[in-house]
Amino acid sequence: MFERFESRRFTLDDGVVIHGRRGGAGPALLLLHGHPQSHVMWHRVADELALHFDVVALDLRGYGDSSRPPSDDAHAAYSKRTMARDAVEVMRQLGHERFMLCAHDRGARVAHRLALDHPQVVQRLMLLDIAPTLAMYEQTSERFARAYWHWFFLIQPPPLPERMIDADPASYVTSVMGRRHAGLGVFDPRALAQYQRCVSLPGSAHAICEDYRASAGIDLDHDRADRAAGRKLALPLKVLWGRHGTVGQCFDVLQLWRDAAIEVSGRALDCGHYIAEERPAALLVEMLDFLEDKA
């Protein structure tokens, strides 16, 4: 995996260390991962992308081999605004003042905030299997709550969810990922082992909970402020979702993004939530069509 990449560590102004990989040459492309994963989720598409782009795949703070900084009652250290700032700073350290961005799940929520807060740096944006966070909370149904039980488990006050995850981190990973449409068989055992290793690292459970607590609190405050001000994404946006996934079955994904952005395209793919690992060839076609020669 990642044969065309080198491992990198970036120390940010606040002392947080962000881990990732960089490979290839061409226009800059940033990849951000979801929960409970790491940058390794891109392993089936990364080497091909590196033939076309200067690819940077990062571990979000709190995930993978990045730092797990302390937080506070406002969960600001894990707000999507803070996590977006991490990514912008890393890209600037690499000399990229502008770049394209493709992100999945939690990383896509960071990417949404990044494109709103730093519109001058993102040229094109692709988001995988999410609808806008505020819309999803406002339109939560019983079906969604049952399928996305972890959204409501992880935001409970500490230390209950942390203790339950720390009791068996590997099983937490397989419980979350194995209950989705494709089951566990779709994942490369090497990738799954990396996800389990990273969730087992000290502080991971608390960092994951803080990410979700932020999404149910301070992130919604930021989203409501944007909505009140009439701010929308103004860059080209492409959204993809899994036809068999919960997001596509519970929400009108394309319409919700059209409510949040000016220029939107997208469609469902024949898969579940983990698009980059379930349908890598189809994802590559979509990415190259949307991103290549468009920088």
Cα–Cα distance, 154 to 254 (Å, whole number): 27
Q: What residues contact 241, with CB distance under 8 A and at least 6 apart?
A: 128, 129, 130, 247, 248, 253, 266, 268, 269, 275
| Confidence band, pLDDT 50/70/90 cuts, at residue 292 | confident
SS3 233: strand
pLDDT tens sequence across 10-33:
999 999 999 999 999 999 999 999
Residue 232 predicted with pLDDT over 90 = yes
pLDDT tens sequence across 45-57:
999 999 999 999 9
Residue 108 predicted with pLDDT over 60 = yes
Distances from the Cα of 109 to the Cα of 16, 214, 216, angstroms: 20, 11, 12
The length of the chain in residues reads 295
Q: What are the residue numbers of the active site?
A: 105, 273
Return the DSSP state at 22: E
Nearest Cα neighbor of 13 from 124, 119, 88, 102 is: 88
| H-state helical runs in 94-183 | 105-117, 133-138, 142-147, 149-154, 160-167, 169-178
Residues above pLDDT 90, as percent of the chain: 98
Cα–Cα distance, 155 to 126 (Å, whole number): 27
